[in-house]
Chain A
Amino acid sequence: MARHYGAAEFNGGLAGSSGLRVSNKAPVTGSLAAGSVLAREMQLSGSETPPGVPEKAGPETADDGAERLSRLEAELGKRRRPEPSEEKAGERPQGWGFVVRVSSDFVAGILVGAGVGYLLDHFAGTGPWGLIVFLLLGFAAGVINVMRTLGMVAEPEKRNVPRDGSQQ
């Protein structure tokens, strides 16, 4: 249990700045017209080259557009991977927003637990026990929610799959 509920990765915050820049050194510049969106993406996020001015296309000038596009996509994917989910790193310092966030996570767990318990009692006629038990379980769920928000417990999917980037 301890291993799988272990801390989520926090090293991401540093890797972000380097990962963000899809650099102008990527060997894929000729395809501005073909892959407009992807190409524009590169252009937006870092390249200082004026748009439309092709850099030296290198040895791959003879390639057809489709192949180059797919290579571009692979290259972009490789560079994008190390970006962290900004949410945990970026969310922390916001005082008021953070308070609402954590408390809503906690309250929601309890509300749902109480709701489930109440409905169970109402339909199954199990006396007060459904409410009692599910209120306690809802409390536990609220605590889990909060710990996930704080990054002290891994998200469900990260817990099972080692995040080595091989999931695609």
Chain B
Amino acid sequence: MATDPIHQFQISRIVPIEVGSLDVSFTNSSLFMVATVAAVTLFLVLATRGRGLVPTRLQSMAEISYEFVANMLRDAAGTEGMRFFPLVFSLFMFVLFANLFGMFPYFFTVMSHLIVTFALAMLVIGTVVIYGFMRHGLKFLGLFVPHGVPGYLIPLVTVIEIISFLSRPISLSIRLFANMLAGHITLKVFAGFVVSLSALGAVGIGGAILPLAMTIALTALEFLVAFLQAYVFAVLTCMYLNDAIHPGH
């Protein structure tokens, strides 16, 4: 069990709840989502409580994260995009904290399940589509018809563009999920080598140094990935929102 690298992703029911035939149990995944939200809320509330003109360390951390997301959104979607700031900021903080939580030993990595990342991606794309139609009406469909394409190619290009658009939530979710899953499995496999090698006696313990070093390096890399994937998720959200705000002509 200790060396099974997949075991860490198992969902277990903590409070079994059944609504009809639907299983809506409170699982360990739900528990860590709640913990993530609580941690983000606690961090931001505590950090902004002082509201000093000269920020404390905690407050400047909150301000940096605000600045970071605000600049990202403004670059990608312009000043108009700032109305989506709450969405993007929540997504970024949620993914970031969930990923960082996953770095604790014995903690569950929420983002290593495709359904979670897919739900987040669908939220983004749903926002893009609904807002795009609300604001531009049918002109939003112009996103799929590039200008300057010869007439006989328009149907083909349009279909390809639509498929390309539909593939966005999938690629968005696969990317986040695959990164978290692969990273944690690799980490676990190398850590497992340390255990099984050191069972071989003195030579084994000597040999176990190599995978141990690898595990340490991978842990550092995983912290980078945890941040980077939250960033990538937020950046792509911004770019897709930009499509909803400025869908070409």
Contact = CB atoms under 8 A, between A and B. Distances in A.
B164 A5 contact: no
26 contacts: A4-B147, A32-B53, A41-B67, A44-B60, A80-B75, A83-B75, A85-B76, A87-B235, A87-B236, A96-B179, A96-B225, A97-B225, A97-B232, A101-B232, A104-B171, A104-B175, A105-B171, A109-B164, A111-B167, A140-B160, A145-B167, A156-B146, A157-B246, A160-B142, A160-B146, A167-B78
A91 B72 contact: no
A112 B228 CA distance: 26
B79 A52 contact: no
A94 B183 CA distance: 14
A155 B146 CA distance: 10
Given A85-B75, A85-B76, A137-B159, 9 more contacts: A1-B148, A32-B53, A51-B54, A85-B235, A86-B75, A87-B236, A97-B179, A116-B166, A141-B163
Contacts of A167: 78, 246
A157 B247 CA distance: 6
B67 A44 contact: yes
Interface of B: 53-55, 60, 63-64, 67, 70-72, 74-76, 78-80, 142-144, 146-150, 153, 156, 159-161, 163-164, 166-168, 170-171, 174-175, 178-179, 182, 225, 228-229, 232, 235-236, 239, 242-243, 246-249
Nearest to B144: A156
B70 to A, nearest CB: 8
Given A109-B164, A141-B167, A97 B239 contact: no
Contacts of A156: 143-144, 146, 161, 243, 247-248
A14 interface: no
B132 to A, nearest CB: 11
Given A45-B67, A137-B159, A1 B248 contact: no
B75 A112 contact: no
Given A52-B53, A116-B163, A161 B232 contact: no
Report the 6 A-B pairs with minimum CB-CB distance, sorted nearest first.
A108-B171, A160-B248, A141-B163, A108-B167, A108-B170, A141-B164
Contacts of A92: none
Contacts of A130: none
Contacts of B142: 160
Given A1-B148, A1-B150, A85-B75, A161 B229 contact: no
Contacts of A41: 67, 70
A128 interface: no
Nearest to A138: B163
Contact of B170 (A1, A32, A77, A111): A111
Nearest to A106: B171
Contact of B228 (A4, A94, A138): A94
Contact of B175 (A101, A137, A138, A140): A101
Contacts of A3: 148
A100 interface: yes
B175 A91 contact: no
Contacts of B72: 86
B182 to A, nearest CB: 8
A40 B174 contact: no
A121 to B, nearest CB: 16
A30 interface: no
Interface string A30-43: 00100000001100
* Most A CB within 10 A of own CB, among B79, B229, B243: B79
A116 B153 CA distance: 20
B54 A52 contact: yes
Contact of B63 (A40, A85, A111, A157): A40
Interface in A96-151: 96-97, 100-101, 104-105, 107-109, 111-113, 116, 134, 137-138, 140-142, 144-145
